[in-house]
Amino acid sequence: MAEALTKTAPPLSFIGSSRCLLDFQPSTFSPGFDSIIQYQHRRFALQCIQIWLLGVAVAETVHGVVVFTRHGDRVTKHYGKQVITSLGAQQCYKVGSDYRSRYLESDFSHRILHISEDKHIASQAYASAPDQSLLKSSATAFLQGLYPPLVDLDAEVATSTLNNGSDSTSPLKGYQYVFLHVEKSNSLDTIWIKGDDGCPANAAACKSFGTSEEFLTRMDATKVFTAASTMFSSVYDYKPENLTYKNADDIFDLINVACIHNRTWLARNVTNEELFQLCTLADSAEVGSNFNASQPERAIHAQTLAAGILEQLSQTVA
Protein backbone atom coordinates (compact mmCIF):
# COMPACT_ATOMS: atom_id res chain seq x y z
CA MET A 1 0.00 0.00 0.00
CA ALA A 2 1.19 3.51 -0.70
CA GLU A 3 0.02 6.68 0.95
CA ALA A 4 0.51 10.17 -0.40
CA LEU A 5 0.75 12.56 2.51
CA THR A 6 0.39 16.33 2.67
CA LYS A 7 -0.77 18.88 5.17
CA THR A 8 -3.63 20.01 2.94
CA ALA A 9 -6.63 18.31 1.38
CA PRO A 10 -6.36 14.55 0.74
CA PRO A 11 -7.78 12.08 -1.77
CA LEU A 12 -7.64 8.32 -1.39
CA SER A 13 -6.72 5.75 -3.96
CA PHE A 14 -7.08 2.05 -3.47
CA ILE A 15 -6.05 -0.97 -5.49
CA GLY A 16 -7.51 -4.16 -4.17
CA SER A 17 -8.04 -7.88 -4.61
CA SER A 18 -5.41 -9.81 -6.50
CA ARG A 19 -5.42 -8.00 -9.77
CA CYS A 20 -8.38 -5.81 -8.93
CA LEU A 21 -7.96 -2.05 -8.99
CA LEU A 22 -10.03 0.21 -6.79
CA ASP A 23 -9.50 3.92 -6.53
CA PHE A 24 -11.14 6.43 -4.17
CA GLN A 25 -10.69 10.15 -4.51
CA PRO A 26 -12.83 12.83 -2.88
CA SER A 27 -12.02 15.80 -5.09
CA THR A 28 -10.76 14.30 -8.35
CA PHE A 29 -11.63 11.29 -10.49
CA SER A 30 -8.88 9.22 -12.05
CA PRO A 31 -9.51 5.93 -13.84
CA GLY A 32 -7.07 4.02 -13.80
CA PHE A 33 -7.96 -17.66 9.75
CA ASP A 34 -7.02 -20.76 11.37
CA SER A 35 -3.54 -22.00 10.42
CA ILE A 36 -4.68 -23.76 7.26
CA ILE A 37 -6.58 -20.75 6.00
CA GLN A 38 -3.56 -18.60 6.71
CA TYR A 39 -1.53 -20.80 4.39
CA GLN A 40 -4.14 -20.44 1.67
CA HIS A 41 -3.89 -16.67 1.81
CA ARG A 42 -0.25 -16.25 2.69
CA ARG A 43 0.42 -13.42 0.25
CA PHE A 44 -2.95 -11.86 0.99
CA ALA A 45 -2.16 -11.86 4.71
CA LEU A 46 1.27 -10.33 4.19
CA GLN A 47 -0.22 -7.48 2.21
CA CYS A 48 -2.76 -6.83 4.95
CA ILE A 49 0.05 -6.76 7.53
CA GLN A 50 1.93 -4.23 5.44
CA ILE A 51 -1.18 -2.09 5.28
CA TRP A 52 -1.59 -1.88 9.03
CA LEU A 53 2.09 -1.39 9.81
CA LEU A 54 2.23 1.82 7.80
CA GLY A 55 1.80 4.80 10.07
CA VAL A 56 1.63 8.53 9.46
CA ALA A 57 2.28 11.59 11.56
CA VAL A 58 -0.74 13.10 13.25
CA ALA A 59 -0.11 16.45 11.58
CA GLU A 60 -0.26 14.94 8.10
CA THR A 61 -3.29 14.20 5.98
CA VAL A 62 -3.58 11.20 3.68
CA HIS A 63 -3.84 12.48 0.14
CA GLY A 64 -4.05 9.13 -1.57
CA VAL A 65 -3.88 5.41 -0.93
CA VAL A 66 -3.23 2.81 -3.58
CA VAL A 67 -3.72 -0.82 -2.55
CA PHE A 68 -3.17 -4.01 -4.51
CA THR A 69 -4.51 -7.04 -2.70
CA ARG A 70 -5.47 -10.63 -3.41
CA HIS A 71 -8.72 -12.38 -4.11
CA GLY A 72 -10.47 -14.34 -1.39
CA ASP A 73 -10.59 -18.09 -0.77
CA ARG A 74 -11.41 -20.01 -3.95
CA VAL A 75 -11.79 -23.49 -5.33
CA THR A 76 -8.60 -25.14 -6.57
CA LYS A 77 -7.11 -23.75 -9.76
CA HIS A 78 -6.06 -27.23 -10.90
CA TYR A 79 -9.34 -27.96 -12.67
CA GLY A 80 -9.57 -24.73 -14.59
CA LYS A 81 -12.20 -22.08 -13.88
CA GLN A 82 -11.81 -20.59 -10.43
CA VAL A 83 -14.71 -19.25 -8.40
CA ILE A 84 -14.79 -17.59 -5.02
CA THR A 85 -16.15 -19.50 -2.03
CA SER A 86 -18.44 -18.15 0.67
CA LEU A 87 -15.38 -18.01 2.92
CA GLY A 88 -13.55 -15.97 0.29
CA ALA A 89 -16.44 -13.56 -0.08
CA GLN A 90 -16.50 -13.03 3.69
CA GLN A 91 -12.76 -12.39 3.69
CA CYS A 92 -13.03 -9.74 0.98
CA TYR A 93 -16.03 -8.17 2.69
CA LYS A 94 -14.04 -7.96 5.93
CA VAL A 95 -11.11 -6.31 4.17
CA GLY A 96 -13.48 -3.77 2.60
CA SER A 97 -14.95 -3.06 6.03
CA ASP A 98 -11.47 -2.53 7.45
CA TYR A 99 -10.66 -0.03 4.72
CA ARG A 100 -13.94 1.70 5.41
CA SER A 101 -13.03 2.04 9.08
CA ARG A 102 -9.59 3.39 8.26
CA TYR A 103 -10.29 5.80 5.40
CA LEU A 104 -13.99 6.69 5.36
CA GLU A 105 -15.22 6.86 8.93
CA SER A 106 -15.06 10.29 10.53
CA ASP A 107 -13.61 9.16 13.86
CA PHE A 108 -10.38 7.81 12.36
CA SER A 109 -7.29 9.98 11.88
CA HIS A 110 -6.62 8.62 8.38
CA ARG A 111 -10.02 9.60 7.02
CA ILE A 112 -9.92 11.25 3.61
CA LEU A 113 -10.76 14.91 3.82
CA HIS A 114 -14.14 15.77 2.25
CA ILE A 115 -14.89 12.19 1.24
CA SER A 116 -18.43 10.94 1.78
CA GLU A 117 -18.46 8.82 4.91
CA ASP A 118 -21.57 6.73 4.25
CA LYS A 119 -23.09 7.36 0.84
CA HIS A 120 -21.18 6.23 -2.21
CA ILE A 121 -20.45 9.06 -4.64
CA ALA A 122 -19.30 7.88 -8.05
CA SER A 123 -16.80 10.70 -8.54
CA GLN A 124 -14.98 9.64 -5.38
CA ALA A 125 -14.51 5.96 -6.15
CA TYR A 126 -13.13 4.03 -9.08
CA ALA A 127 -12.92 0.25 -9.08
CA SER A 128 -11.72 -2.10 -11.77
CA ALA A 129 -10.88 -5.78 -12.13
CA PRO A 130 -9.93 -8.10 -14.99
CA ASP A 131 -12.78 -9.92 -16.67
CA GLN A 132 -12.44 -13.08 -14.57
CA SER A 133 -15.17 -14.44 -12.33
CA LEU A 134 -12.97 -14.90 -9.26
CA LEU A 135 -11.55 -11.41 -9.42
CA LYS A 136 -14.85 -9.69 -10.19
CA SER A 137 -16.55 -11.49 -7.31
CA SER A 138 -13.71 -10.62 -4.94
CA ALA A 139 -13.87 -6.96 -5.90
CA THR A 140 -17.66 -6.90 -5.53
CA ALA A 141 -17.47 -8.40 -2.03
CA PHE A 142 -14.82 -5.87 -1.08
CA LEU A 143 -16.99 -3.01 -2.30
CA GLN A 144 -19.92 -4.35 -0.31
CA GLY A 145 -17.79 -4.04 2.81
CA LEU A 146 -16.56 -0.61 1.85
CA TYR A 147 -20.03 0.77 1.15
CA PRO A 148 -22.57 -1.39 3.02
CA PRO A 149 -26.37 -0.84 2.77
CA LEU A 150 -27.06 2.80 3.51
CA VAL A 151 -30.04 2.22 5.82
CA ASP A 152 -27.72 0.63 8.38
CA LEU A 153 -25.35 3.60 8.19
CA ASP A 154 -27.67 6.58 7.96
CA ALA A 155 -31.39 5.92 7.53
CA GLU A 156 -32.10 9.59 6.90
CA VAL A 157 -29.64 9.81 4.03
CA ALA A 158 -30.92 6.50 2.65
CA THR A 159 -34.51 7.71 2.54
CA SER A 160 -36.08 10.06 0.02
CA THR A 161 -39.56 11.55 0.38
CA LEU A 162 -41.85 11.42 -2.63
CA ASN A 163 -44.36 14.10 -3.62
CA ASN A 164 -47.18 12.03 -2.17
CA GLY A 165 -45.51 12.13 1.22
CA SER A 166 -44.34 8.52 1.29
CA ASP A 167 -40.75 7.50 1.96
CA SER A 168 -38.66 5.42 -0.43
CA THR A 169 -35.36 3.57 -0.06
CA SER A 170 -33.38 1.41 -2.45
CA PRO A 171 -33.88 -2.38 -2.26
CA LEU A 172 -31.96 -4.50 0.24
CA LYS A 173 -31.96 -1.79 2.91
CA GLY A 174 -30.42 0.80 0.66
CA TYR A 175 -27.90 -1.43 -1.09
CA GLN A 176 -25.24 0.74 -2.71
CA TYR A 177 -24.33 -0.04 -6.30
CA VAL A 178 -20.64 0.72 -6.66
CA PHE A 179 -19.77 0.39 -10.33
CA LEU A 180 -16.99 -2.09 -11.08
CA HIS A 181 -15.11 -1.44 -14.30
CA VAL A 182 -14.30 -4.78 -15.91
CA GLU A 183 -11.14 -4.76 -17.98
CA LYS A 184 -11.29 -7.02 -21.01
CA SER A 185 -8.16 -8.93 -21.94
CA ASN A 186 -7.60 -6.63 -24.93
CA SER A 187 -8.05 -3.42 -22.94
CA LEU A 188 -5.03 -1.13 -22.78
CA ASP A 189 -5.65 -0.61 -19.06
CA THR A 190 -5.18 -4.32 -18.34
CA ILE A 191 -1.41 -3.90 -18.48
CA TRP A 192 -1.38 -2.07 -15.14
CA ILE A 193 -2.70 -5.03 -13.15
CA LYS A 194 -1.94 -7.95 -15.48
CA GLY A 195 1.30 -6.88 -17.08
CA ASP A 196 2.53 -10.47 -17.43
CA ASP A 197 -0.42 -11.73 -19.48
CA GLY A 198 0.49 -12.28 -23.11
CA CYS A 199 4.01 -10.92 -22.62
CA PRO A 200 6.58 -13.04 -24.54
CA ALA A 201 9.53 -11.56 -22.64
CA ASN A 202 7.97 -12.43 -19.30
CA ALA A 203 7.01 -15.93 -20.45
CA ALA A 204 10.54 -16.66 -21.65
CA ALA A 205 12.11 -15.28 -18.48
CA CYS A 206 9.82 -17.30 -16.20
CA LYS A 207 10.43 -20.44 -18.24
CA SER A 208 14.17 -20.06 -17.85
CA PHE A 209 13.80 -20.64 -14.11
CA GLY A 210 12.95 -24.26 -14.92
CA THR A 211 16.42 -24.80 -16.38
CA SER A 212 18.33 -22.89 -13.73
CA GLU A 213 20.77 -24.52 -11.31
CA GLU A 214 18.60 -23.37 -8.42
CA PHE A 215 15.54 -25.14 -9.81
CA LEU A 216 17.36 -28.35 -10.71
CA THR A 217 19.00 -28.51 -7.28
CA ARG A 218 15.62 -28.23 -5.59
CA MET A 219 14.19 -30.89 -7.88
CA ASP A 220 16.88 -33.29 -6.69
CA ALA A 221 16.82 -32.25 -3.05
CA THR A 222 13.08 -32.10 -2.41
CA LYS A 223 10.58 -34.91 -2.56
CA VAL A 224 6.92 -34.49 -1.78
CA PHE A 225 6.14 -36.62 1.30
CA THR A 226 5.28 -40.23 0.52
CA ALA A 227 1.64 -39.92 1.56
CA ALA A 228 1.04 -37.56 -1.33
CA SER A 229 1.13 -40.39 -3.86
CA THR A 230 -1.78 -42.05 -2.08
CA MET A 231 -3.74 -38.82 -1.79
CA PHE A 232 -3.27 -37.95 -5.45
CA SER A 233 -4.46 -41.33 -6.67
CA SER A 234 -7.94 -39.77 -6.84
CA VAL A 235 -6.73 -36.85 -8.97
CA TYR A 236 -7.31 -38.26 -12.43
CA ASP A 237 -4.55 -36.38 -14.26
CA TYR A 238 -1.79 -36.78 -11.64
CA LYS A 239 0.80 -39.54 -11.77
CA PRO A 240 3.49 -40.28 -9.14
CA GLU A 241 6.16 -38.81 -11.40
CA ASN A 242 4.27 -35.49 -11.36
CA LEU A 243 4.75 -35.09 -7.60
CA THR A 244 7.88 -32.98 -7.86
CA TYR A 245 9.07 -29.46 -7.15
CA LYS A 246 8.06 -28.50 -10.67
CA ASN A 247 4.41 -28.74 -9.60
CA ALA A 248 4.92 -27.49 -6.04
CA ASP A 249 2.39 -24.68 -6.27
CA ASP A 250 -0.30 -26.86 -7.83
CA ILE A 251 0.28 -29.69 -5.32
CA PHE A 252 0.07 -27.31 -2.40
CA ASP A 253 -3.06 -25.68 -3.79
CA LEU A 254 -4.88 -28.99 -4.25
CA ILE A 255 -4.02 -30.21 -0.76
CA ASN A 256 -4.67 -26.91 0.97
CA VAL A 257 -8.08 -26.37 -0.63
CA ALA A 258 -9.00 -29.94 0.27
CA CYS A 259 -7.90 -29.37 3.87
CA ILE A 260 -10.28 -26.43 4.08
CA HIS A 261 -13.28 -27.78 2.15
CA ASN A 262 -13.09 -31.56 1.60
CA ARG A 263 -13.76 -33.79 4.61
CA THR A 264 -13.51 -37.04 2.66
CA TRP A 265 -10.21 -36.61 0.80
CA LEU A 266 -7.10 -38.04 2.46
CA ALA A 267 -5.62 -34.56 2.61
CA ARG A 268 -7.42 -34.17 5.93
CA ASN A 269 -4.61 -36.28 7.43
CA VAL A 270 -1.92 -33.79 6.43
CA THR A 271 -0.29 -32.20 9.46
CA ASN A 272 0.27 -28.47 9.83
CA GLU A 273 4.02 -29.09 9.61
CA GLU A 274 3.66 -30.96 6.31
CA LEU A 275 1.36 -28.27 4.95
CA PHE A 276 3.86 -25.61 5.94
CA GLN A 277 6.64 -27.49 4.13
CA LEU A 278 4.51 -27.65 1.00
CA CYS A 279 3.67 -23.98 1.34
CA THR A 280 7.36 -23.12 1.62
CA LEU A 281 8.19 -25.10 -1.53
CA ALA A 282 5.31 -23.48 -3.40
CA ASP A 283 6.40 -20.02 -2.30
CA SER A 284 9.99 -20.60 -3.36
CA ALA A 285 8.85 -21.78 -6.79
CA GLU A 286 6.65 -18.70 -7.18
CA VAL A 287 9.48 -16.38 -6.16
CA GLY A 288 11.87 -18.11 -8.53
CA SER A 289 9.45 -17.78 -11.44
CA ASN A 290 8.72 -14.14 -10.74
CA PHE A 291 12.00 -12.61 -9.60
CA ASN A 292 15.64 -12.62 -10.60
CA ALA A 293 17.80 -9.56 -10.00
CA SER A 294 19.71 -10.17 -13.24
CA GLN A 295 16.57 -10.89 -15.27
CA PRO A 296 14.05 -8.06 -14.66
CA GLU A 297 11.65 -9.46 -17.27
CA ARG A 298 10.50 -12.04 -14.70
CA ALA A 299 8.96 -9.23 -12.68
CA ILE A 300 7.68 -7.10 -15.54
CA HIS A 301 4.15 -7.29 -14.10
CA ALA A 302 5.45 -5.75 -10.87
CA GLN A 303 6.98 -2.94 -12.89
CA THR A 304 3.72 -2.16 -14.69
CA LEU A 305 1.85 -2.32 -11.38
CA ALA A 306 4.33 0.11 -9.80
CA ALA A 307 3.86 2.45 -12.75
CA GLY A 308 0.10 2.29 -12.29
CA ILE A 309 0.39 3.08 -8.59
CA LEU A 310 2.69 6.02 -9.29
CA GLU A 311 0.27 7.34 -11.89
CA GLN A 312 -2.65 7.15 -9.46
CA LEU A 313 -0.79 8.95 -6.69
CA SER A 314 0.63 11.54 -9.09
CA GLN A 315 -2.87 12.44 -10.26
CA THR A 316 -4.03 12.59 -6.66
CA VAL A 317 -1.44 15.11 -5.47
CA ALA A 318 -1.13 17.08 -8.71
In tens, the pLDDT along 244-274 reads 899 999 999 999 999 999 988 887 788 899 8
Q: Find the domain containing 25 and state its range.
A: 2-196+301-317
157 and 101, same structural domain?
yes
Statement to judge: residues 149 and 261 lie in one domain: no
**Tally of structural domains, the chain:** 2
Q: How far apart are CA 3 and CA 110, in angstroms?
A: 10
Let me know whether 114 and 256 are in one domain: no
Give percent of the chain with pLDDT exceeding 70: 79
Task: Encode pLDDT of 206-234 as tens digits.
Answer: 999 999 999 999 888 876 655 577 788 88
Whether residue 111 sits in one domain with residue 24: yes
* pLDDT (0 to 100) of residue 52: 46
The answer to whether the beta carbons of residues 231 and 255 sit under 8 Å apart is: yes
In whole angstroms, what separates CA 223 from the centre of its chain? Answer: 31
Q: At what angle do helices 213-221 and 272-290 cross, to 10 degrees?
A: 160
DSSP bridge pairs for 62: 5
Question: pTM to 2 decimals?
Answer: 0.80
User: Do 174 and 32 share a structural domain?
Assistant: yes
